[in-house]
Amino acid sequence: MSNSATLQIGVGERPSPPPLASGIGRRRSGDRVFHGVVRAAVWIVILLAGGLVVALAWESAPAIRKFGWPFLIGSSWDPVAGSFGALPFIYGTVVSSLLALLIAAPLSLGAAIYLAEIAPFWVRPPIGFLIEMLAAVPSVVYGLWGVFVLVPWLREWVQPALGRWLGFLPLFQGPPYGVGMLAAGLILSIMIVPYITSVSREVLLAVPNAQREAALGLGATRWEATRIAVLRYGRSGLIGAVLLGLGRALGETMAVTMVIGNRPEISASLFAPGYTMASVIANEFTEATSDLYVSALVQIGLLLLGVTLVVNALARLLVWSVGGAIKRPAE
Amino acid sequence: MKKWFAFGWFALGIASLVSPAQAQMLINGAGATFPYPIYSKWFEEYTRVDPEVRFNYQAIGSGGGIRQITERTVDFGATDGPMTDEQLKKAPGELFHIPTVLGAVVATYNLPGSPKLQFTGEVLADIFLGKVAKWNDEKIKALNPSANLPDQPIVVVHRSDGSGTTYIWVDYLSKVSKEWEQKVGRGTSVSWPVGLGGKGNEGVAGQVKNAPGSLGYVELAYAITNKLPAAAIKNQAGRFVEATIESTTSAASAAAKNMPADFRVSLTNPGGEDAYPIASFTWLLVYRDQPNEAKGRALAKFLWWAIHDGQKYPAALLYAPLPGPVVKQIEAKIKQITFSGKPLLAAQ
């Protein structure tokens, strides 16, 4: 469910092509066909998206009628008693994704800057290729790696150490199970690094060379030139790249469910097990027998769609506001 | 243009190659994932018995199987937990539960030296309720006086995905513990008082294998193939029984005496000296009155084959075969399958 692909991530100005002077002259039949085909394509996409929302809303109607708004803040999930609340899942989804972003964003931006600005030319293609390879690894493989490598490592080394030195923080308290929110955040961060890195690298490469030359010509150091002339220029694109990663993290299902511990509880500690919206749907849908139960799961799906929509909208706003703030000098 | 025509002919040619021959009959089914390996073995073997019939089975889960047979989008359903009265009422016709094989669920654990442990149902329920939280609790010690039990918290591991395995497990806990029945109850997913969720048998087993001090439950077949330690459980007759294919079949023999006519029976905690107490049937769901005569007859014949000749295949795949007395009872049921009132199987 990576659904942020609609983010505008370019850097340069995009002069939209002038509208075709459709009224003038004789239109060729080929033009008309082309026109019709592309217009139909747009409508199909819009209808699909609309149909998805309608279908989800329709199927979740029984749960919405039964629980109403308290569904959003309820924290019990008991299929036997038929009482459902979504809060632990919303919390788990948002916290694991933000944690992933916190780790992945600096890492990926660093890698992108190195690849675009600093690395010798001969190492750029192979390293770039390797990072993009990470994006092609199926998520269940990340999950297996998480179960057999990451989780034992966290349980034996990282969590005891964190508990010992930083245990006064509520974030690092509780028994070290290995699985839990921390493992989920880590595995998500590894999964989104290739997305953020490769998109930000493209963004940085799209920055005109004149920017760099001008900064260097004014006596800037390499780092100053990168910071002032390149990063600032590509700011909106870089934010777009990061939010693309966030969108991917919000919807990730398989790898997360294998390491998060799957316990619908809200805990301040990152060591504690949690649960995400996508995971609970994947876990429980196949064996959900009562109508209300199925409906509650579909409503979680609707909520997940809502959360990703809100995140994407915020991303758009951020890209626009940042993009508007830097009026590009006339070239 | 010519190229496209050529392509079209080519596509048609491919399509005619892969589509089944006209003479064959396709019977569609959907449902439980747990018996999928034995069902696909049966469907394959059955082509030698009747080459005219092909089966298409989608292992989409018991919930999906029940929904699809209720909506008549498939010819048969499959489920690991019996349908409720409410669900049966929603079906447009009378549905039969046909038991096919048995499965068992075992308690597996990770302790230094992998000692052989023994549990009673009450103690297992207390552990899963969080009331017995340490391995050296007096209640566990009393059952295992010779085992070296560490002063360590018990990490409870359960299934995170809805599953028939979970249903069997909590059904057993509900029978042996009033407190479990009231606080948690039965279901394919429940609200667990304590513990971590692992996805699938492999998720639970992986968690138990990796984390010292953990205790979880997995299917018998999974425990045997992965050589996991499995606890012996005290049955109603007071004996500690290990899960094997034989002791699982015994659980059904013990229940045969009081078998309800519709086979919707829970086999957990049965009587019987040798019965392993955490076992269950898995069922196929078929309509009593079949909508299509030829298909209905083929289906009834297949069911007859499955409970007789078909029963030599489950053991190799680590399912327990049906006991003889139960097969006799199911025979009577299959003979009741009709098409507009006429029985589809001649008396055999």
pLDDT (0 to 100) of residue A236:
86
Is A7 among the domain residues? no
**Inter-chain contact A288–B211, Cβ cutoff 8 Å?**
no
A80–B161 CB contact, under 8 Å: no
B3 forms bridges with which residues in the sheet?
none
- pLDDT, tens only, A45-104: 999 999 999 999 999 999 999 999 999 999 999 998 889 999 999 999 999 999 999 999
pLDDT for B89: 93
* Separation of CA B249 from chain center: 13
Burial annotation B152-170 (CB, 10 A radius, 16+ → b, else e): eebbbbbbbbbbbbbbbbb
Strands A77-78 and B25-31: unpaired
Residue A300: inside a domain: yes
Length of chain A: 331
Check: CB of residue B186 under 8 Å from CB of residue B146. no
The reported pLDDT for the residue numbered A2 is: 41
**Interface test with chain B among A287, A292, A295, by most B beta carbons within 10 Å:** A287
**What's the rounded Cα separation, in Å, for the pair B190 and B300?**
36
Instruction: Note the pLDDT of residue A331.
Output: 39
Question: Quick one: tokens of A235?
Answer: 């700011």
**Is B211 in CB contact (< 8 Å) with chain A?**
yes
Residue A83: beta bridge partners? A78
Domain count, chain A: 1
Structure tokens belonging to residue B80? 């690991």
The answer to whether the CB atoms of B188 and A289 lie below 8 A apart is yes
Are the CB atoms for B207 and A179 separated by under 8 Å? yes
Two tokens at B240?
């500690």
CB proximity B160 to A under 8 Å: yes
DSSP for residue B144? -
Q: How far apart are CA A259 and CA A246, in angstroms?
A: 19
What is the structure's pLDDT at B62? 84
Residue A229, class by beta-carbon neighbours within 10 Å (0-12 exposed, 13-18 middle, 19+ buried)?
A: buried
CB contact A274 to B (< 8 Å): no
Contact status of A273 with chain B (Cβ, < 8 Å): yes
| Burial A150-172, CB ≥16 within 10 A → b, else e | bbeebbeebbeebbeeeeeeeeb
Chain A contact for B191 (CB, 8 A cutoff)? yes
List chain B pLDDT tens, one digit each, 348 residues. Answer: 455 555 555 555 555 455 444 458 999 999 988 899 999 999 999 999 999 999 999 988 888 889 899 999 999 999 988 898 988 999 999 999 999 999 999 999 999 988 999 999 999 999 999 999 999 999 999 999 999 999 999 999 999 988 889 999 999 999 999 999 999 999 889 999 999 999 888 889 888 988 889 999 999 888 888 888 999 999 999 999 999 999 999 999 988 888 999 999 999 999 889 999 999 999 999 999 999 999 999 999 999 999 999 999 999 998 999 999 999 999 999 999 999 888 998 754
Cα separation, B241 vs B279, in Å, equals 12
The position carrying tokens 């990152």 is A270
In this complex, which of A151, A284, A286 lies closest to B210 when CB atoms are compared? A151
Q: A86 in a domain, yes or no?
A: yes
* Other residues' Cβ atoms within 10 Å of the Cβ of residue B266: 19
A201 touches chain B (CB under 8 A): no
Mutant choice from A286, A294, A295, A300 vs B, greatest count of B C-beta within 10 A: A286
Number of H helices, E strands in chain B: 13, 13
CB contact under 8 A, B197 and A263: yes
Continuous segment of H or E residues that includes residue B168: helix B164-176
Over residues A152-180, the pLDDT tens digits come to 999 999 999 999 999 999 999 988 899 99
- Strand B25-31 to B53-58 pairing: parallel
Any idea what DSSP says for residue B260?
-
Residue at A297 is within a domain? yes
Q: What residue type is assigned to position B336 of the chain? A: Q
**Tokens standing for residue A16:** 């939209």
Contact list, A279 vs chain B (CB under 8 Å): 160
In B27-86, the residues whose Cβ lies within 8 Å of chain A are: 33, 60-64, 66, 81, 84
From the list A310, A206, A198, A278, the residue with the least C-alpha distance to A245 is A198
Residue A48 lies in a domain: no
Model pLDDT, residue A19: 60
φ, ψ dihedrals at B164, nearest 5°: -65, -30
DSSP assigned state of B27: E
Cα distance between residue B183 and residue B168, in whole Å: 17
| pLDDT band at residue A6 using 50, 70 and 90 as cut-offs | very low
Mind telling me how many Å the CA of B60 is from chain A's nearest CA? Answer: 6
pLDDT for the residue numbered B345:
86
Specify which residues B230 forms β-bridges with: B108
Residue A219 within any structural domain of the chain = yes
Provide the CA A98 distance to its chain's centre, in angstroms.
9
CA dihedral B223, B224, B227, B228 (to 10 degrees): 20
Which strands sit side by side in the sheet containing B214-219, from one edge to the other? B53-58, B25-31, B76-79, B279-287, B95-109, B214-219, B155-159, B196-198
CB contact under 8 A, A79 and B189: yes
Whether A3 is covered by a domain: the verdict is: no
3-class SS string, chain A: CCCCCCCCCCCCCCCCCCCCCCCCCCCCHHHHHHHHHHHHHHHHHHHHHHHHHHHHHHHHHHHHHHHCCHHHHCCCEECCCCEECCHHHHHHHHHHHHHHHHHHHHHHHHHHHHHHHHCCHHHHHHHHHHHHHHHHCCHHHHHHHHHHHHHHHHHHHHHHHHHHHHCCCHHHCCCCCCCCHHHHHHHHHHHHHHHHHHHHHHHHHHCCHHHHHHHHHCCCCHHHHHHHHHHCCCHHHHHHHHHHHHHHHHHCCHHHHHHCCCCCCCCCCCCCCCCCHHHHHHHHCCCCCCHHHHHHHHHHHHHHHHHHHHHHHHHHHHHHHHHHHCCCCCC
Q: Model ipTM?
A: 0.79
State the residue range of the domain holding A108: 65-327
CATH number reported for the structural domain that contains residue A195 in this entry: 1.10.3720.10
Hey, are the CB atoms on A148 and B64 less than 8 Å from each other?
A: no
Query: Who among A79, A177, A282 is closest to B190 (CB)?
Result: A79
Q: Regarding predicted confidence, which is higher, B188 or A17?
A: B188
The span from the first CA to the last CA of chain A, in angstroms, equals: 40
List residues bridging with B319 in a β-sheet: none
Is A74 among the domain residues?
yes
Q: Does A154 touch chain B (CB under 8 A)?
A: no
Residue B1 has a pLDDT of 47
